[in-house]
Amino acid sequence: MLTSVTGINWGDEGKGRVIDLLAENADIVVRYQGGNNAGHTVVTNQGKFVLNLLPSGILHSDVICILGDGMVVVDLEHLANEIKQIEDRGIQINPKHLKLSKKATISMPWHRVQDELEENRLERTGSAFGSTRRGIAYAYSDKYRKKTLRLGDLLHLDDTAVQARLKTILESKNLELAGCYHQEPMSYPALLDWCREQAEKFSKYICDTGTFIDKALSCGKKVILEAQLGALRDIDYGIFPYTSSSSTISAYGPIGAGIPGRHADHVVGVLKAYSTCVGAGPFVAENAVSEKWQQDLRAAGGEFGAATGRPRRVGPFDAVASRYGLRCQHADKIALTKLDVLSSMKEIPIITGYNDPNGSLVEFDPTDNLDSCTPVIYKVPGWEEDISHCRTFDELPANAKNYIKTIEDMLHAEINFISVGAKRDEYLLKGEWL
C-alpha cells in the first residue's frame, strides 16, 4: 500500500506527527522533495526531535527511511550532523535503515552561500521571499540548468566525464559568485576534495532507491511518502513567488520517490486547527485578529519555525484556503492537529470567506491580489478545558465537537485524525482511518 502525507496549507501543519504514527505499521518512509528547509517535529518518550532531512520514520528501528529521487539532498554536512545528533540520542542509523537515492541532487558548497547573499540583497530593497537561507532554490535552479551533481556521481569521481563536468560547473559558478557577489573563487582541487570527503561518508548509503521501493510495493509492503511544506507553497499551485522550489503536491509523490508508474492508494491531508504561515507573502488570516491574539496563540502553540526558529505568522482557521489546498492534494483522509492549543479561548474565529474591492470571494485563487482581501469571520464558542486526556471523539467537550463539525461542513469533508496534545499518544480517531 502506498500512502502520501501532504500539507494542505502553508506548511508546518504537523505532518511529522502523523507520519510518525503511521510509521508504526509501515515498512518504508520516503521523503520525495525539498531539502533541509523542512522542519518536521516528532515528540516521543525520548523527547522532542526536529528532523530537517531525515524522514519522520527514522525513530522506528524497523522502518527503512529513504531520501528519494526528487530531493535536493541539501548540505551533506547538515545530513551528517543530523545523523550524528540522532545517534547520540540512542537511535541507530545504518545503510539498512537509511538509503539515499542515486538520482537525488546534491547541494554544492556554494548553494547556501548564494542563497544567503541574494536574500540579504533583497532584504535591503524590501523584496525578500522569506527564504530559509539553506540553498534550496539555488540547488533546484542548478538541477534544472544541469549545473550540479547527483548523489550517484559521488560513486564515480575518478571518471573522466564526471571530473570534466565538475570543472565546467565550477567555472560557471565562480563567474556568478565573483561577478555578482564579489566572492573569492573556489579552486577545483578544493572542490574535488570536498566531493571525495562526501563520498567517503555517504557512498554506503547511496543506491537505486526507486527500484527498491517498487519491489517492496510488489511484495505487499506499506510505503509512506512524506511531503515538505504544503499546497500553498507549491511551485505551480502555491502563492507565487512566495513558494518552495519544488512540487509539494501529492500527485508528484510517486515521481519524486522514484516510482513514477505508481499512484497513491491514500492521500492524508494535514491541517492545523488554526492557520500558520511559513515565509513571506500574502496571508489573509493574520488580518483577522489582533496582535495580542496572535501572540497568545503563538505562545500556546509553540509557533516558531522548526527549521529556522522564526516566529510563525498565525491566524484563525482559513476555510477558503483549506478548501483549495484539499482540492490540490486530492486527500481522501484528513488529519487535524493542535486542537488542544485552542482550549483556552472563550470564542474561536473561523474564516469563511474573503472580501476584496470587487466583492466577496469564497474560492481561493493564488493568482488573485490576496493582499487586498479582508477575511470574513464566523465565531463559535470555545470549550475552555483541557482535552489532552480525550482518546475518543465522544470524550471531547460539546463545543470542541461543534468546532470540528463546523470545519467539516466548510470543507465538505470528514476529519479522521485529531491531535489533542503534543505527546505521541495524545490523539483520537474519528470515522475510517488507515
279: left (phi over 0), alpha (psi -120 to 50) or beta: left
Chain centroid to CA 110: how far? 23
Count how many residues are written for the chain.
434
- Is 356 annotated as catalytic? no
The half-sphere exposure of 104 on its side-chain side, counting CA atoms within 13 A, is 31
Q: How far apart are CA 377 and CA 352, in angstroms?
A: 6
Cell numbers given for 227: 511531503
Cβ partners under 8 Å of residue 134, min gap 6:
35, 36, 37, 74, 75, 78, 112, 115, 307
Helix axes 76-88, 188-202, angle to 10 degrees: 30
> Which residue, chain included where needed, has cell 500556546?
300
Nearest to 338 by CA among 14, 10, 80, 34: 14
With beta carbons less than 8 A apart as the criterion, state whether 29 and 19 touch.
yes
Q: Which of 27, 40, 75, 115 is catalytic?
A: 40
Helix axes 136-144, 109-124, angle to 10 degrees: 120
- Is 40 annotated as catalytic? yes
Type of residue numbered 223: V
Q: Please report, in angstroms and rounded to a whole number, the separation of the first and last CA atoms in the chain.
A: 10
**Mind telling me the catalytic residues?**
12, 40
